Amino acid sequence: MSEPAGFVVAAVLAIPALSAALLALLPDDRTSARLNAVASFLTFLCAVALLAERPSPGPFLIVDDLNVAFIVLSTFVGFTTSVFSASYIAHELEIGRLTHAYLRFYHAMYQVLMFGMNLALLSNNVGLMWVAVELATLTTVLMVGIYRTPAALEAAWKYFLLGSVGIALALFGTILVYLAARAVVGEGLDAMAWSVLVERAADFDPALLNLSFVFLLLGYGTKVGLVPLHAWLPDAHAEGPTPISAVLSGLLLNVALFAVLRFKIVMSANPGALAPGPLMVALGLLSVLFASFMLYRRQDIKRMFAYSSIEHMGIVTFAFGMGGALANFAGLLHMTLHSLTKSAIFYCVGHIAQVKGTQRMADIRGLTVSHPVLGWGLVLGVVAIAGIPPMGIFMTEFLIVTSTFARQPVLAVLLGLSLLVALGALLARLNGLAFGDPHGSREPAKASFVPVAIHFALVLAAGIWLPSTFVAWFQHVAALLR
């Protein structure tokens, strides 16, 4: 690795790792929440520096056009979530839902999670990527169960078992990829290095690759939350602390999808192998259809937005499965905007649930009257996530549906229809939540609105005007995905 850029890559991993150790040792909560935010901000700065200069790929780490986009997004949302988390956690401490000891654990785990995700994104070795995804999963399991209520423990246990099974399947797929590569590349680290795999994939045994992709798609797909492997996702989102819901939806699902994409690129580099597209299209469309109908009967506000995450990960998987320059571009942009929007929604929802003391939607009414900023923030978020113009998600959904129309009209109709179904569900719920006579506590919320505002500004900007350098960059990445 070249000197300064190699140092920056090391920093993206070392800052979260070191601050995790430090946060585990520090007793004071006020400083630790701040330190958490500062560390996340520094990681974000280092990630941005990777845009300018990147090191040459090593046996374990790689920075390329694809993962740099994910890393910048991931560290950015990681930073804004840490700012939100500081005010959220202060309230949890006040009402005694969390004790000081748990808080120390929480902050340390937050940074371990960041470390795991950055490592998964940066790794060039498919085995290392697997270990990193496992680490990220474990930390989120621990944090989902942190409230220790029966419901939280059940959610954590379910997530644990399903996540572990998914991860086990992904490992079997990884072993098969190694076997396919070993016949061509030879034994050793090279046969697991992703950069080598892509270069030599054309000579791999197609049958072995096909089988491995099925396992990898099912394994990492469990972590993406694709139907029918999604059962853990709504519980984990609803029962854990809200910052974790934001990170799960906004980041961890992306990381798992990123793993699938890495292997998809290997698959499409082999002419004899099964086309990975149709499998992803099928799983994606199934997720969108299922989740949009499931949105209707939700009673719990966090659970509803968790189903909305399943829907949007389905849309993104569908887009990447369709492939082609336009669909890939739209899929990538949609994933970015979904991360920003969904995490901002969870910031609002977190404060709303704290002020009202409940997550039941029936008990939350008239937010725009009682808490104008939070209420209108939620309205803006739902408008954005439902795909109403002028927010950016409208544009990407429009691109995905129209580009599909040109190639597979039936699929486009199905996708468009389920998007409308989801829109109806979200707007119907929003009406009750945001408008009408206020219900419950009217105390002002001690919230931090800056992260919410930044996220929505970005999403709105994406819908109105995308800078041409940004478009060129994303188009380049989309071309990589084939």
Partner 1 sequence: MDQLALDVAHLLAGGLVLASFMLLYQDRMTGLINTFALHALVVSFSVAWQAYIQQAPHLYITAAIALIVKALVIPLALHRIIVRLDIHRTIEPVVGIGQTMLAGIGLVALSVMVMLPITAQAGTLAREDLAFALSVILLGLLMMISRRNAVSQVIGFMSIENGLILAATGAKGMPLVVEISVAFSILIALIVIGIFLFRIRERFETVDIHVLHEHRGEQP
Q: Binding to partner 1 (CB under 8 A): which residues in 362-381?
A: 362
Q: With respect to partner 1, which residue has the nearer C-beta, 30 or 360?
A: 360
Outline where 269-391 has alpha helix (H): 276-294, 301-322, 325-356, 367-370, 372-385
Count of Cβ atoms closer than 10 Å to residue 437 Cβ: 8
The token pair that represents 344 in the structure block:
């901002």
What track of x and - describes contact with partner 1 for positions 336 through 365 (by CB under 8 A)?
-----------------------xx-x---
CA distance 112 to 131: 13
Buried b (16+ CB within 10 A) or exposed e, 388-406: eeebbbbbbbebbbebbee
Task: Provide, rounded to whole angstroms, the least separation between the CB of residue 192 and partner 1.
Answer: 6
Q: Is 183 in the site for partner 1 (CB under 8 A)?
A: yes
For partner 1, the binding residues in 128-147 under the rule CB under 8 A are: 128, 130-131, 134-135, 138, 142, 145
Segment near partner 1 (CB under 8 A); pick from 67-75, 299-307, 333-341, 400-408: 299-307
Q: Does 97 bind partner 1 (CB under 8 A)?
A: no
Nearer to partner 1, 156 or 285 (CB): 156
Rule CB under 8 A: say whether 392 interacts with partner 1.
no
Query: Of the candidates 69, 71, 61, which has an alpha carbon nearest to the alpha carbon of residue 129?
Result: 61
Eight-class DSSP state of 371: S
CB of 178 to partner 1, least distance (A): 5
Nearer to partner 1, 225 or 331 (CB): 225
Binding mask 45-84 for partner 1 (x = CB under 8 A): ----------------------------------------
Is 150 one of the binding residues for partner 1 (CB under 8 A)? yes
125, 249, 317, 370: which one binds partner 1 (CB under 8 A): 125
**C-beta of residue 50 within 8 angstroms of C-beta of residue 116:** no
**Residue 94 exposed, middle or buried by CB count within 10 Å (0-12, 13-18, 19+):** exposed
- List 26, 165, 198, 282, residue binding partner 1 (CB under 8 A): 165
Please, what sign has the CA dihedral across residues 436, 441, 446, 448?
negative
For residues 436 and 443, give the distance between their C-alpha atoms in angstroms, rounded to a whole number: 18
Cβ pair 464, 390 in contact under 8 A: yes
* Contact predicate 79/43, CB 8 Å: yes
Question: Which residue from 20, 71, 89, 171 is in contact with partner 1, where contact means CB under 8 A?
Answer: 171
Looking at the DSSP bridge assignments, the partners of residue 406 are none
Window 190-249: residues binding partner 1 (CB under 8 A): 191-192, 205, 207-208, 210-211, 234-235, 238
Residue owning tokens 């993206």: 12
Contact footprint for partner 1 (CB under 8 A): 125, 127-128, 130-131, 134-135, 138, 142, 145, 148, 150-151, 153-154, 156-158, 160-161, 164-165, 168-169, 171-172, 175-176, 178-179, 182-183, 187-189, 191-192, 205, 207-208, 210-211, 234-235, 238, 297-300, 303, 359-360, 362
